[in-house]
Amino acid sequence: MPLTIDQLEAFARSLFEAAGLDADKAATLAQLLVLTDAMGRRTHGLAMVPLYLAELAKGTMAKTGEPEIVTQRGVVALWDGGYLPGQFVVARAIDWALPRAADSGIAAVTIRRSHHIGCLAALALRAVEQGFVALIVNSDPAGARVAPYGGTEALFTPDPFAIGYPGTPNPVLVDICASITTTSMTRQKVAEGTTFAQPWLLDHDGRPTNDPRVLEHSTPRGSLQLIGGLDHGHKGFGLALMVEALSQGLAGYGRLDAPKRWGGNTYLQIIEPGLFAGRDAFLQQMDYFGDRCRSNRPIDAARPVRMPGDAAARALAAARRDGIIYDEATWAALNRHAAQLGVAIP
């Protein structure tokens, strides 16, 4: 049975509050996780709740407090997230940056030591819906899932990055990473007992494979392939270096410090087009380009070119109209935690 977005947000918020998370953090986390599901990014929506509840129970996700402002100079700041929920910390950073970008054209925040920040596109939408351009990059200094180009030993995370900007008829939301696939998708394949259609991973000897188990269930472990694969993987490696520099180098905290906790470093930049050529000029240019992309003669007439964000906009509209239905495994896991925490199931 489909449930409304409001019902799902209330349910998730109750789960987090029952686990001891501050009400404001629980509300932000619930809203963004459900939004992520509504946009069709199911690996990073309420499917993350059991993992987050486990982190709260262990004390490795902070339940209370505020991010610390380490340095702040004008429209640039460095925050320490103190392992608070990453969505909460980044949402706060966006709210800090928006008025400053409105005044100065650009504002930027680097965040170290937050917890997992979830779906970058959902976070970017927070700024894009208000007419701004948002750039978000993220890495986990404690994670090792991807090997450098030409190497066999996993060293860094998929290193996702997103850019979102206003558009007609839909906002454009690019949310990709330096590796071909992600840790979450790989774990999902393992849980399903399925393999990837293409060899998107490497085994421990650097040989391409479509077996997701090489990442977590083999010794020595394999790694995720970089964008470009064995042929042009230097391009994915270059993107990873960009993410690492912005999220860890600027933070002054990263792999050198050898953290052991699941967390995240984030670089956020908000841009106000109105202080450049103007919002109208920005929309005219980018809408023209978007229209040219969508009208480009497709390889397959049944699959016309779409802009990043079009599918998310359709999914979000459908979720607002019809509600959301979850797969059996995800809903069963949420129900088990609800029973343990004494939370009513909608």
61, 156: one domain: no
Residue 172 lies in a domain: yes
164, 77: one domain: yes
105, 41: one domain: no
CA distance 30 to 310: 23
CA distance 107 to 96: 9
117, 169: one domain: yes
Q: What's the pTM?
A: 0.95
User: Listing from the earlier edge strand, what are the strands of the sheet with 68-73?
Assistant: 68-73, 76-80, 106-114, 264-271, 133-139, 160-165, 172-177
Residue 80 lies in a domain: yes
Amino acid at 213: R
Residue 188 lies in a domain: no
Q: Is the dihedral of CA 9, 11, 14, 15 positive or negative?
A: negative
Tokens standing for residue 137: 């990059």
Residues 167-194 have pLDDT tens digits of 999 999 999 999 999 998 998 899 889 9
| Res 41 pLDDT > 90 | yes
Mean pLDDT, rounded, for 136-161: 97
56, 82: one domain: no
Q: What is the pLDDT of residue 191?
A: 86
In 3-state terms, what secondary structure has residue 265?
A: strand
DSSP state of 112: E
87, 13: one domain: no
Residues 266-295 have pLDDT tens digits of 999 999 999 999 999 999 999 999 999 999
Structural domain span for residue 90 = 67-179+226-306
Share of the chain above pLDDT 70, in %: 100
Q: What is the CATH number of the domain that holds 266?
A: 3.30.1370.60
Strand partners, 109: 77, 268
137, 73: one domain: yes
CA distance 301 to 296: 11
144, 254: one domain: yes
Residue 202 lies in a domain: no
Closest CA to 216 of 148, 320, 143: 143
Instruction: Please answer whether residues 120 and 291 qualify as being in contact, where contact means their C-beta atoms are separated by less than 8 angstroms.
Output: no
E strands present in the chain = 68-73, 76-80, 106-114, 133-139, 160-165, 172-177, 201-202, 208-209, 223-224, 264-271
169, 301: one domain: yes
Residue 298 lies in a domain: yes
Residue 216 lies in a domain: no
**Total domains present in the chain:** 2
Q: Which residues contact 232 (CB under 8 A, 6 or more apart)?
A: none
61, 83: one domain: no
In 3-state terms, what secondary structure has residue 124?
A: helix
Q: What is the pLDDT of residue 217?
A: 86
Residue 162 lies in a domain: yes
| Res 1 pLDDT > 90 | no
Q: What is the CATH number of the domain that holds 2?
A: 1.10.1530.10
Strand partners, 110: 78, 267
272, 145: one domain: yes
